[in-house]
Chains A and B, each alone.
Chain A
């Protein structure tokens, strides 16, 4: 017999997160190098589908951040700056004060 499911507000946010426009994990992996370099080197933004995917797939997001911090020095940036550049874009569509 299993215990009844009891959800925290954070669980609810994750369960009801909007994941459109759709982007698969494979598509994310294919694009992540170009997106990260675009953000760090050319100051470009990321597509809405890519941004939404990073918001809703913690593992892909962790890997994108790892890549940004790893290549930061190749582009004259420190890792913390590179991470915040990526994070700012990912969080751009999140309401002030976070999701409720």
Chain B
């Protein structure tokens, strides 16, 4: 990291109103101590509030939460994101602007909190799945789609493990957000996505062998 004096603006750095434009300046100020660091952390926190608010306002799940709860989530997510950024400063490699890198933490924490709040108190059960939904297809097309759907349904029951079945149905059929399911199953987004990856692979292999899906070679012909 460059020496602080090399990257700071020529204006006295303890004064308010600095406007860091370079990654080096951000890192130098956040790595310093005292008033310089405090001011940089406050700046960082205001960026995290901006990112969290942006994400909360984009999410349909947030609409039903009410304005007060949404603002609570914005501030709480900004706090958590600020801590995350400071804890991972050493991993910043300068592949993007520092602000872009930091924004993703604000967006992540806000998204997770909104999904948790929206699903708070809601049961996740398999027996809420509805009957077949109409798709506006021709009778022939409908029959083919129905055949495939029935084959997928059988494959889910026969070739997936109970854990794979639970995860795949919850995430892909019931559309439970992945963070919410991760909370309920005491695991992580990453682990659930891997389970899903393996389950999809098994399903495709089975359906291909049974003639319901084209092989990669057939698909490229």
Contact indicator B156/A5 (Cβ below 8 Å): yes
Would you call B100 and A33 a contact (CB within 8 A)? yes
The answer to whether the Cβ of A80 comes within 8 Å of any Cβ in the partner chain is: no
Contact residues of B between 186 and 203, Cβ < 8 Å to A: 189-190, 193-194, 196-197, 199-201, 203
Bound-complex Cα distance A11 to B129 (A): 11
Count A-B pairs with CB separation below 8 Å.
137
Given contacts A33-B101, A59-B178, A67-B103, contact A6 B152 (CB under 8 A): no
CB-CB under 8 A from B173, the residues of chain A are 5, 7, 11, 14-15
B200 touches A57 (CB 8 A): no
Q: Which bucket holds chain A's interface residue count? A: 35 or more
B122 within 8 A of A: no
Q: Are B104 and A29 interface neighbours, CB within 8 A?
A: yes
| B44 CB within 8 Å of chain A | no
Question: Given the complex, which residues of B lie within 8 Å of A71, measured CB to CB?
Answer: 97, 99-100, 103
Interface of B is mostly: helix
Task: Kindly provide the distance from the CB of A60 to the nearest chain B CB, expressed in whole angstroms.
Answer: 8
Q: Which residue on chain A has the smallest CB distance to residue B58?
A: A66
Residues of B within 8 A of A63 (CB): 55, 104, 107-108, 111
State which size class the interface on B falls in. 35 or more
Say whether B54 contacts A24, CB under 8 Å. Answer: no
- B203 and A5 form a contact (CB under 8 A): no
Determine which of A7, A19, A33, A62 lies in contact with B96 in the assembled complex, contact meaning CB atoms within 8 Å: A33
Binding site for B on A (CB under 8 A): 1-9, 11-12, 14-20, 22, 24-26, 29, 32-34, 36-37, 56-59, 62-63, 65-67, 69-71, 74
Q: List 18 A-B contacts (CB under 8 A).
A: A3-B126, A3-B129, A5-B129, A5-B169, A8-B133, A12-B149, A15-B152, A16-B200, A19-B200, A25-B189, A59-B111, A59-B178, A62-B111, A63-B107, A70-B50, A70-B51, A70-B54, A71-B99
B: residues with CB less than 8 A from A are: 50-51, 54-55, 58-59, 95-97, 99-101, 103-104, 107-108, 111, 115, 125-133, 135, 137, 145, 148-149, 152-153, 156-157, 168-169, 172-173, 177-179, 189-190, 193-194, 196-197, 199-201, 203-204, 207, 213
In order of increasing CB-CB distance, the 10 nearest A-B pairs are: A34-B95, A2-B127, A33-B96, A14-B172, A8-B133, A7-B149, A37-B96, A33-B101, A33-B100, A25-B189
